Structure 1
Amino acid sequence: MTIRALPLALAAALASSAALAQPATVKVELKNAAGASAGSATLTDAPKGVLIRVEARGLTPGWHGLHFHETGDCSKSDFTSAGGHTHGGGDRKHGLLNPDANETGDLPNLFAAADGSATGEFYSTLVSLKGAGGRQGLQDANGSALLIHASADDQTTQPIGGAGARVACGVIK
């Protein structure tokens, strides 16, 4: 290698390592019961959890429960094909306000404005995309789903905090 080529090789190596340092990100398309687009979510792996950015539309104004569900399947119009909340094993109970440990599917509520649009950014230390740090992986063999419910989650009542029907679903694969 010549002296002139050394800076180019160094720049290429730095660019390559910078690309490797980018966190894993998954884009999730949210669908409503009719199969139409209801927005999207971007999940980004972080060193100790997952950052979730949700942009939804077509919701009723007010608060909506938001959860990770155990199966990456939104094929049924009521989204029951996504199964229950991701759980994480052990004797966990539903609800971020429950002192008996949280399910890995527990997330804060999402607020929809008067026009039905909702934007929120959340962070969960209970999951990872691929199972890093011993946390439940959202991209396991059967995937998982991000669901928006019709009503707010009270963060304590079992099994889903009174969040009601499932109104939007996105597959995490």
Structure 2
Amino acid sequence: MRRSGFLTLFLASAIAIPSLACAADSVSGELKGTDGASHGIVTVTDAPKGVLLRLQVQGLTPGWHGIHFHEKGNCAAPKFTSAGAHVHATTPVVHGLLKADANDAGDLPNLYVAPDGTATVELYSTLVSLKGGKALPALMDADGASVVVHAKPDDYQTQPIGGSGDRVACAVLH
């Protein structure tokens, strides 16, 4: 009887393994400010026609902030310029969700931070993929990717970053 119980436990464990494999379809990172303080968590989940981005933030300046996928998985403070430019597949890069000729795959809608400095949002992007294979630029390529939050809102038109200003927080995706 004990062997049977062990076998049942073993089989139940074996059945649970495939559900762990689904976790590999997501990447996440800690959102850090220019001072190195933690400002939340960013999670990106693979979807059939793009990715789902979830942000849970705290301690940011209230109001609208531009956010973008950046081409490198590097967030060296204090200015996060090590994150590189926005993710893109072609050049020259034309920024702006409101521009007809836009091709900037890192573009995302603005993030609204409440008066208490917090925000929780899920955004869907059809402009990138998590690991490639969908005719979209892959976030998780050889040098990784990051999510950058900017000081001001993105106007979705101005080149090269929509007038969104300084980089105030950054999360390396892994």
Task: Please give the per-residue CA displacement for 1:51-104, whole angstroms capped at 9, x wherever unaligned.
Answer: 000011111111000001111111131111111111221444101111103311
CA shift in 2, pair 1:107/1:20, >3 Å: same
The equivalences for 1:20-35 within 5 A come to 20=21, 24-35=25-36
Which range moved further: 12-21 or 156-165?
Answer: 12-21
Query: 1:85: which partner in 2?
Result: 86
Code of the aligned partner of 2:153: A
Structure 1 unaligned blocks of 5 or more: 1-7
Code of the aligned partner of 2:169: A
Question: Does the 8 Å CA contact 2:128/2:137 hold for their aligned counterparts?
Answer: yes
d(CA) in 2 for partners of 1:42, 1:13:
27
The equivalences for 1:1-173 within 5 A come to 20=21, 24-173=25-174
CA shift in 2, pair 1:34/1:20, >3 Å: closer
d(CA) in 1 for partners of 2:112, 2:92:
30
d(CA) in 2 for partners of 1:101, 1:95:
6
Matched residue SS, 1:127 = coil
Code of the aligned partner of 1:80: T
Which range moved further: 104-113 or 115-124?
Answer: 115-124
CA shift in 2, pair 1:12/1:138, >3 Å: same
Question: Does the 8 Å CA contact 2:73/2:83 hold for their aligned counterparts?
Answer: yes
**RMSD value over aligned CA atoms?**
2.1
Matched residue SS, 1:168 = strand
Code of the aligned partner of 1:130: K
The alignment's TM-score, normalised by the length of structure 2, stands at 0.86
Structure 2 unaligned blocks of 5 or more: 1-7
Matched residue SS, 2:59 = coil
The alignment's TM-score, normalised by the length of structure 1, stands at 0.87
CA shift in 2, pair 1:31/1:15, >3 Å: closer
Structure 1 residue ranges (4+ consecutive) displaced by more than 3 angstroms after TM superposition:
10-23
Q: What is the percentage of aligned positions where both structures have the same residue?
A: 55
Matched residue SS, 1:81 = helix
CA shift in 2, pair 1:11/1:172, >3 Å: closer
